Amino acid sequence: MNISETKREAFASAISKAGGQTGFAQLVSTAERPVSQQLVSYWLKKGELPAELVLRVELLTGVSREELRPDVFCIPEELQQPHAA
């Protein structure tokens, strides 16, 4: 699976956990940054959530920042803990 597919699937999962696009829009909207269902649909079609919303979405849905935007929040291999054998 490539990065684009990973981002899209993670974003779709966050939307699902929020009860759909309208629920997601309501969940992440703030007074400073209102979000509409149409905007969520546009982001999903584009294939990624804006980076400035990733931490909020992670907190509210439990979908990790690394899954939502691996291009921004990836952990370099040299910093990852080795897996137990």
| Every domain of the chain and the residues it spans | 3-64
Q: Which two tokens stand for residue 22?
A: 């309208």
pTM, 2 dp: 0.83
Q: What per-residue confidence (pLDDT) applies to 75? A: 66
Confidence of residue 21 (pLDDT cuts 50, 70, 90): very high
